[in-house]
Structure 1
């Protein structure tokens, strides 16, 4: 398929997704089934059934199982993010979107039928069990600190450990669990719920858009059949990178859509509200903030497209996704903050989704790697490239 044909395909899908989110999903933003730990399972199911009927469920995966390119995915995921409920409704939300991508790349045919297909159909949610409690000295941004262990016991692996900030664990039916063997990191596919995987508590966090919230989980003698290992023993970090670079970029895509909506709302407010004898937008202090938002949104869009092109070119894109995650999350934070400021008291109220977008983007600056960790990683690359060039 030519580039022009692919772009036309993506434009058509994106238009359907945007119409669905604006017309069907946004009215649900005041639904009583929304809570501090995300939308209820009942609400998720209702929205996904409407998306299925509208033909926009899991729009980034085609009927033949093939994925849109990353550039096409950006065109589709951005409008899905126009509402905090949009990605949940059309099945482009984290962690499911990243987990589907990983399984599509690494899982066996049998694993895909059992674990991937229900995710693609929107019938199940998933969770990625990697991060561990800081109090245990476990893995956070440094996965090499992993404390969760896996030991081969006959034709099963026995897994023990604790995990933290596991998005969507409560209510998930598919789990991807990372643990370390004598060979190194391993990934396992598990059916959920499982009595050996116990949710200790669901954390109260600043964000509230993801179903199931973020849980602390205890894994006590979980037995997983050997054929449910994802890939090979000791290759878990490599597989995680296959997932993490596109997943970071997908977060950027979705939240770009969300903050673009916040800009729409703040602009409408500034063009209607008057103060000191004129519209707020005619005051430079307000108008300039909206102009700066426009600039940040465009620069973020260009970073997303650049990184998408790198990944589409076959690169793992680790450095590029780090740069994009830093640049986009920080830019969107500035935009969300200005939107709140433009709207004053209304901006910090629950009367619009601007306040929620501010909270969601603040959390985005931390998950999938805090800004500082990505900068540290990039600095290491700069040093390594410099020393290599000097030695050449």
Structure 2
């Protein structure tokens, strides 16, 4: 098969929101980039994911020139609530953080906006690639080989951004002896339902209940996203829509359960929960971004936002490389990114521990009842103290991005 060679400055592996956002930002600075994706664009858009965006992410999207629809249709959230066995406590994000907020705008919508902007700018994206492999990433001139529409290609580049998720090839390219992987698998999952029904609340509600955790979330004024903590042994097909709604009502505060509007689900799935970090997040000219390097349980709404902070750091570094000729700054990527990653991991782990029911489940080196008492004490202090609520609020809205 004839091998065709193409060139770019930055090869981006993965056309999810982090890869697309990085590509758009780099292009704005005149830095050429090509995105390679193993699945179709429609498949990427079919991934139903989070929708709570920190201010840093919102600003990045605007800087990329793709924020018009987000600003028009997204919802600014100034707070959220935590319900403990039916009792609601409001977390005033804006008041507790000096005016900071978050935005509710679905990941699918961000991805769609970025795809359209990339196509309009005439930037190259190769969907449905196969046999993708990274070469010489620890050398001056790395490359990527892949097949596309029956043609074999070599993509020559200066740097590679691995935005291809947990199961992608990027992380596996780092020699196993040189990477340390930290993982915690949680003993439960989230059963999620998406429905075209008005949300039960204008703000998100995280529910700690003796029957298990629940989350009342939203995508818009007419589309809702709800979750229930379920055992890992549960199967989606065993949950009818009626069974889901009835269980959700049991876990919501009574006044909200009465107001809940139910309807047919348009998507239903069970997601396992895990905490995962790969150290380091770079190897030579390869940089890991987002789920390729770290995964968080969704309890703290940090997954997509941590990916955005990786993008912000790598974008700043590569801009400095090409505009100032400072190649040495690339060695700081992993150090800077991991500081924020571990903070987000800790917050998500902490929120997950406080809000879920671990009864009868193994928990570190203590019994589940002892662990339950510790977490009840945590919730009592942090919810009843303004200082405690401020800690939650500051973490939730997101810490400032670190300068390069």
State the TM-score bracket (shorter-chain normalisation). under 0.3
Normalized against structure 2, the TM-score is what?
Answer: 0.24
The structure carrying a bigger strand percent of its residues is 2
Calculate the TM-score normalised by the size of structure 1: 0.24
**Larger fraction in helix:** 1
